[in-house]
Structure 1
Amino acid sequence: MNELPHALNDGVSALSHALGHPELHAELQAELQAEPARRAPTRRAIVAAAIGNGLEMYDFTLYSFFAVTIGKLFFPTGNALTSLLLSFATFGAGFLMRPIGAVIIGNLADQRGRKAALTLTIALMTAGTALIALTPGYASIGVSATILVVIGRLLQGLSAGGEIGAASALLMESGSKSRRCYYVSWQAATQGGAALVGALAGVAISASLSPEALQSWGWRLPFLLGLLIAPVGMYIRKHLDETHTRAQPSAINGVGAVFREHARTLVIGTFLMTSTTSAMYVIVLYMPTYLVRTLHMPPVTAFAATCVSGLTMLVLAPLFGRLADKLPRRKPLLIANSILSMLIVIPNFTLLSSGPGLPLVMMCVAISGTLMSIGTGAGTAMMMEALPRHHRATGMSIMYSFGVTIFGGFAPLAVTWLISATGSRMAPAGYLLCASLISFIALLLYPSNPGRD
């Protein structure tokens, strides 16, 4: 972690000069020269959020990566498309638990502090991953295998429902108001980094084993590797500095107050998540399946696409977060990014689906990853600043979880069905364009309170 600030310093130096904002580099140098005792709590918060959030995205990337194998092993139907659809349906089923996790775990974060919630989320995520990694196939234990894998996804969904709100609140509250966008941008950055690691793990396993060994047991190895990280995450989260404590008469009253006092914000915020979550689950998680199954490209192209999108988010999200901190308001940047995304999505997929070579595929994916990175820090900060501190984790968890459940979790299933029903390779672009239009309207209506405590 000690190397991270210096690597980030070099990256900001290049980008800030290219953008005509060299003062960003000077400010980051000043930050790096600050006393270690002042920087340590923020670094610990970033690492704690990164491990849990990263483990979630790592597992989701692997599940998408091995969706075909999982479909054959746990959902045998005799039809490859049906098995794949059932595999993606199970992937989406975990998202049905997210709203429940958002209410329960988000409220726990607002009632008893961020540490308690984050410790619980990583424990649930670990249990869900263990079930997926260790459950024997349908051929060995029959329908019990299917049930256990579904339960594993449900536990992961319950965990993820409370993870984003609690972790984002912790990040935002761990540092100064002038760096909020930068701190919360690490949520998206770690998701990108985890997708990159997940793709590399999938590549390594696929290249090292025969197809028979991969389908029999090899696909489980990357999931088991993720389990080794979980105890480290638990330890770090248990030793965090708490950023919020508040007592309420009862948990139910606390949740009820969130809905009573912020109903309009919660509804608009849910629709605001449409574009972000759809892009994440289509561009990062579904793209390998799309490239191989629909565009008939070699698996190495799919692997490379996930690596490029993940690396783009890992590098650019914090940089654009720092840039957003220089702006007096969040919305102008988000509006400009939203319009640009809508203008580019159709041409981008037209080029992608025309069957270009590997370099052009990587360019298309990188463009999408860049657009996803621009608004992550500013968008997350704006959403949480619309809520008071004592309702922040619950409210953010609810908006994120409902948005992801409705528009993101079932995106791979919806896009797979749309391609099959229409025969059009442009179905993902249509899905993303509709999502962007919904989010754009919500963005115009969403309240903005920069700097709110």
Structure 2
Amino acid sequence: MKQRVSYAQVDGGVSSSLPYDAPLVPERANFKSLVAVTLGNGLEIYDFAVYSFFSVIIGHLFFPSSDDYTSLLLAVATFGVGFVMRPLGSLVLGNYADKHGRKAAMTLILGLMSLGVMMVAFAPTYHQVGILAPVVLVAGRMLQGFSAGGEVGAATSWLMEAGHKSSRGSRVSWQMTSQGGAALFGAAMGAGLSHVLSEQQLYDWGWRIPFIVGLAIMPIGLYIRRQLAETHSVTANVVTENPALTLWREHRRALLLGILLVMKGTTTFYIIIYYMPAYMVNTLHMPASTSWWVSLTAAALTLLVPFFGGKLADKLPKRKPILIGCALGSFILIWPIFATILHGAPLGVTLALIALDQILANISSAAFFLLILEAFPKAVRASGMALVYAIGVTLFGGFAQLIVTWLLKVTGQPMAPAWYLMFCAVVTFAALLAWHERKTFCDE
């Protein structure tokens, strides 16, 4: 089926980037298109994962200091810098996705992401070029963060719109599945390199390998994304204001509460999957080989469970009951998880608790994305989702590692990460109770 799209001026002179006869997405999105859409998000998470897993090495190479905590703090701060750019990216690229289509935005985003990864992969170290080394590293992380800011909004909007409403939960679940696969691949790369390379080899060149591998995959993603059908055409001859202004004026409550809804999920994801290896090695002095099992377990469940959460969301008429039940269960598990690690319980017990927490988190992921997406009309959906996710992840996920590292240093209490996660859980639960679920825009 064809939909004719005029080349008339849109929004004050910006013409549609869609083809004149843009094909609508088929009723059922196929496997290839789902992979193409989620590949960008997966590569973004993969890169963030390997950066986190090698944060100790990166800290020493780019921020040398006599104090290991200072080097690690600066390294995770650079990890957080990538998140600072996310809100700006969500504004610019979310706006682009709403005005020019999801396909055009996702292609542009993956190109920008590739450039950022290249800068990190080939950045010279402090020993080689001095202060220029952290400058190049930070610039690469900022570009990655900027592109990531628009990725979730454009990709999840496409997934929601690319088929019948009765299966949108299953499609949207691919977003988290891609994150789990990327985190699992990143953790496997880290564990494998740590096993086969010596410490000196990892410092000399081994830490660059995962970034180069990710960079090599990106041209494939760019090619596949260019073949996607479009789900959102620009209305001909209609002048609209900036989507961000519309969101603030007409959907402010959903925007602000949505940001708080992100809080618990993103802090858990970045602390349990990404920060846990560094925490177990640096704070609890556990073997690195043991710490990798935690990340691998959590990542594997993030790969496998979201699909079932998506199916559940498709079966139930409301999203909030899923989110409330999973949030309460996850809150109860936070303290036991860290207590078993701290007190030397068998690894199997810790892994079982983390597995249960990750199952709850991933069951609720599709319901969360749908709750946000269905709160915004199609004309501003990508911008709304991008802003909610980018600001929430920036404020609460991007700096989670920096916050808990700082808390560990100033309090001397190894349970500090648990305190932070419990605080985030309470805030998110309050926002969830205040959310008025509606599906006013779900059929647009």
**TM-score of the pair, normalised by structure 2:** 0.91
Judged with a 3 Å threshold, the aligned counterparts in structure 2 of structure 1 residues 293 and 45 are, in CA distance, closer, same or farther, namely: same
Q: Following the alignment from structure 2 to structure 1, what is the Cα–Cα distance between the partners of residues 443 and 262?
A: 21
Residue type matched to 2:56 in 1? V
Once structures 1 and 2 are overlaid, which stretch shifts more, 99-108 or 118-127? 118-127
Give 1:250 deviation, angstroms. 6.7
The aligned counterpart of 2:133 is 145
Contact 2:337 2:350 in 1 (8 A): no
Is residue 209 of structure 2 the alignment partner of residue 221 of structure 1? yes
- 1:235 and 1:348 map into 2 onto residues whose CA distance is 43
> In 2, are the aligned partners of 1:42 and 1:171 still within 8 Å (CA)?
no
* Residue 85 of structure 1: aligned partner: 73
Match status 1:332 vs 2:321 = yes
C-alpha distance in structure 1 between counterparts of 2:177 and 2:349, whole Å: 24
Shift, 1:78, TM fit: 2.3
Pick one of 61, 83, 89 that aligns with 2:49. Answer: 61
Q: Does 1:124 align with 2:112?
A: yes
The answer (yes or no) to whether the contact 1:415–1:428 under 8 Å persists in 2 is: yes
1:351 and 2:340 correspond: yes
Contact 2:173 2:365 survives alignment (8 Å): yes
> Kindly tell me: are residues 40 and 233 of structure 1, through their superposed partners in 2, closer, same or farther at Cα, counting changes over 3 Å?
farther
Instruction: Find the counterpart in structure 2 of residue 171 from structure 1.
Output: 159
The yes-or-no answer on 1:306 pairing with 2:295 is: yes
**1:375-414 C-alpha deviation (Å, 9 max, x unpaired):** 1001100111000011100001001011011111000010
- Secondary structure (helix, strand or coil) at the match of 1:41 reads coil
Structure having the larger proportion of residues in helix: 1
Alignment of 1:374-393 (within 5 A): 374-393=363-382
2:244 to 210, 235, 255: 255
Contact kept, 8 Å, 1:295 with 1:355, in 2: the verdict is: no
1:407 counterpart = 2:405: no
Pairing partner for 1:182 from 167, 170, 174: 170
How far apart in 1 are the matches of 2:33 and 2:88?
Answer: 25
Asked if the contact 1:107/1:251 (under 8 Å) is kept, the reply is: no
2:63 corresponding residue in structure 1: 75
Residue segments in structure 2 that go unaligned for 5+ positions in a row: 1-24
Task: Return the letter of the residue paired with 2:48.
Answer: F
Do the aligned partners of 2:26 and 2:163 also contact (CA within 8 Å) in 1?
A: no
SS in 2 for 1:240: coil
CA spacing shift, 1:452–1:354, aligned 2, 3 Å: farther
* Residue equivalent to 1:102: 90
Partner secondary structure for residue 124 of structure 2: coil
Aligned counterparts of 1:162 and 1:115: Cα–Cα separation in 2: 12
1:155 paired to 2:143 = yes
Tell me the equivalent position of 1:16. Answer: none
Q: Does the CA contact (< 8 Å) of 1:283 and 1:368 recur in 2?
A: no
Q: Which amino acid aligns with 1:410?
A: F
2:282 matched to 1:293?
yes
- Counterpart of 2:410 in structure 1 is 421
- Contact conserved, 2:336 with 2:353, CA < 8 A, in 1? no
> What is the CA distance between 1:295 and its match in structure 2?
2.0
Q: Deviations over 1:285-318 (max 9, x none)?
A: 1111112112222111122211110101111111
Distance 1:116 1:96 in 2: 24
How far does residue 416 in structure 1 lie from its aligned partner after superposition?
A: 0.8
Query: Can you list the C-alpha shifts for 1:41-70, whole angstroms capped at 9, x where unaligned?
Result: 342332012210110110111011100110
Among 321, 325, 331, the residue aligned to 1:342:
331
Per-residue deviation, 1:251: 7.8
Residue 121 of structure 2 is aligned to residue 133 of structure 1: yes
Q: What TM-score do the two structures reach when normalised by structure 1?
A: 0.89
Instruction: Give the conservation status (yes or no) of the 8 Å contact 2:81–2:142.
Output: yes
Question: CA 1:40–1:204 in 2, change beyond 3 Å: closer, same or farther?
Answer: farther
Matched to 1:378, the amino acid is A
Q: How many aligned positions are there?
A: 417
2:27–2:164 contact (8 Å) kept in structure 1: no
Aligned residue for 2:251, secondary structure, equals helix
Describe the SS at the equivalent of 1:448: coil
5+ long unaligned stretches in structure 1: 1-36
1:259–1:243 distance in 2 versus 1, CA, 3 Å? same
Q: Which amino acid aligns with 2:82?
A: G
* Map of 1:17 onto structure 2: none
Please tell me whether residue 115 in structure 1 is matched to residue 103 in structure 2: yes
Q: Secondary structure at the match of 1:241?
A: coil
